[in-house]
Structure 1
């Protein structure tokens, strides 16, 4: 455990900023490995580390009231910030979240009263986009059919596997992307070498922003689906986007289209997706579903042509220290009186999950 240098906080001096690392031991190890120890020790603040694995709600409230932190460094295991700290009158000014989702951690009122909130920003975008590309390629190459051929009769010429699987290439495809956040923009860059034609739709995103990225903007999901041989869903979950990929949109996808979801499961009408996947008309590859972890009894889990991954898009394990590094840089900025990077605005908060 690395504790930051203690600063004299006697009445004659201003109170040193109190930084509370509300992490469990596992999170501490993977986000702040030993090589970041010097940067931890160099922060000019008064550090306190959580010592229990999962505090009870009552104890968490008491702990926060007694400590009165200026900064909370949070992660998956961190309980929600008490309203008494999130609202006006509390010294809490900054919540530095190591990972992505913030809606269940901090109330919107914290931002409205001027509180600062950051997360891993664009770090996840690249690895989630990488995973989306993996899923699309696996679907096009018909990965679910590989094992039966590998385990099949060995006397059959190898070329028969190609004939049975009918693998396809991504090169030259018409690609549609629902969403235009960090993941979608990283995916656009990854797709460039494949000489694809990229179109996109995301409610509220200026069409000029899409065109500047070399993407054709469409005015509706239905129009986008009609033109997409490979369809990536990367959209944030909002009341407007929930179940927006409905039966009509799915039916508009061309025959043999590939549908990939690395965004959020509830963006898709799952029963409608099950029907399309079961028909064999389209290929489906998912990193997210409506109920996670997926129930083995779910129809999606038993359909032979569906590719499922267990919400592992990113960041990947080797990128967790990058998230810790960014948090330390943001903490240093805040303690110097500067603005942290990857700030969550009220608008971004409303589009987060």
Structure 2
């Protein structure tokens, strides 16, 4: 891992706990490695366990056959493993975990933040107050999240973590996703909409929390966005590619709805992107989760999985081929 990753994930006594848990071990600053020296290091050490971060160089597809045949487990502390681990290695039986649901509550917190910011038109008023000398007047319209109808597209870990954050505001919460048994929605006390058209047309705030798959690319287009009641809001904390961003910009510029975004099809968001400057859009630079101070949650999840692995017990939330294929 990089030194910064160590300092933000493995805070307090976590680094020492990690070293003790996987001793003997070697700590390598990932930023000091080239791809060539990384391969040489793997050959030299032939590790059984690799604890990795964002800066770790990719593993070659022949890692377990020619480079480091002892490698059994990659414990990746951040999120998507696709840039680090080729699919072939998982097919060969390499165990891989990531931060998984340990960060769900912070992403859910970001969704709540953006929902509140949209209802209060924070993007507009921040601009007015900072740059235009603006102030409210007798015609200013404000909105609250209390007693609003809220729809969540998707019902994974983030959506489930969002429910207890929303319930102090409203009990009018519904969701839509495919392939989830009815009893799951009943267990969480959430109404299941029959289709996306109902989800978008019958809620004041729609929160995008669905997993991105090839068939869901741009699934949220002009038709669905146009169904959100005027004055409502659309929030995306999932993946930018789920949304037709041109259609989203057009409807935001008309002022029909407020928009809150933490994710984009192209990241970083280009400096000249039309989203920038639209006062009906609240923009965040993909910092939904985990916040820097809560990276420790991901570290705790990793430490627990390492304990399980070292005790020959099943780890929690491993990256299966199905999970890998649904990852971005």
Do the two structures share a fold, i.e. TM-score over 0.5?
yes
1:199 aligns with 2:177: no
Q: Distance in 1 between matches of 2:306 and 2:193?
A: 40
Change (3 A) 1:337 1:191: same
Q: Distance in 1 between matches of 2:279 and 2:233?
A: 15
SS in structure 2 opposite 1:176? strand
Displacement of 1:249: 1.1
1:140 aligns with 2:119: yes
Q: Distance in 1 between matches of 2:137 and 2:91?
A: 58
1:283 aligns with 2:262: no
Displacement of 1:86: 5.0
SS in structure 1 opposite 2:26? strand
Say whether the 8 Å CA contact 1:54–1:77 is kept in structure 2: no
Displacement of 1:177: 0.6
Give the equivalent residue in structure 1 for 2:6: 28
1:297 aligns with 2:272: yes
Q: Distance in 1 between matches of 2:79 and 2:104?
A: 11
1:117 aligns with 2:117: no
1:46 aligns with 2:21: no
Displacement of 1:34: 4.2
Give the equivalent residue in structure 1 for 2:54: 76
Q: Distance in 2 between matches of 1:96 and 1:285?
A: 33
Q: Distance in 1 between matches of 2:87 and 2:131?
A: 54
SS in structure 1 opposite 2:229? coil
1:171 aligns with 2:146: yes
SS in structure 2 opposite 1:48? coil
User: In the TM superposition, what whole-angstrom CA distance separates every residue of 1:173-213 from its partner, at most 9, and x where no partner exists?
Assistant: 11111111111111112111112311111222223312221
User: In the TM superposition, what whole-angstrom CA distance separates every residue of 1:96-154 from its partner, at most 9, and x where no partner exists?
Assistant: 01011112221223333322111112221101101110111011011123242577779
Aligned residues: 326
Displacement of 1:301: 0.6
Q: Distance in 2 between matches of 1:57 and 1:151?
A: 47
Give the equivalent residue in structure 1 for 2:305: 330
| C-alpha RMSD of the superposition | 2.2
Say whether the 8 Å CA contact 2:30–2:56 is kept in structure 1: no
Of 43, 51, 61 in structure 1, the residue corresponding to residue 39 of structure 2 is 61
User: In the TM superposition, what whole-angstrom CA distance separates every residue of 1:273-320 from its partner, at most 9, and x where no partner exists?
Assistant: 111111111111101111111112111112122110111111111111
Change (3 A) 1:198 1:34: closer
Q: Distance in 1 between matches of 2:234 and 2:65?
A: 43
Q: Distance in 2 between matches of 1:279 and 1:296?
A: 22
Say whether the 8 Å CA contact 1:141–1:165 is kept in structure 2: no
Structure 2 stretches of 5 or more lacking a match?
A: none
Give the equivalent residue in structure 2 for 1:9: none
Give the equivalent residue in structure 2 for 1:222: 197
SS in structure 2 opposite 1:340? coil
Say whether the 8 Å CA contact 1:112–1:346 is kept in structure 2: yes
Name the TM-score, length of structure 1 as normaliser: 0.86
Name the TM-score, length of structure 2 as normaliser: 0.92
Structure 1 stretches of 5 or more lacking a match?
A: 1-22, 155-159
User: In the TM superposition, what whole-angstrom CA distance separates every residue of 1:22-80 from its partner, at most 9, and x where no partner exists?
Assistant: x1111112112342244134325320121451522222222222322111111111122
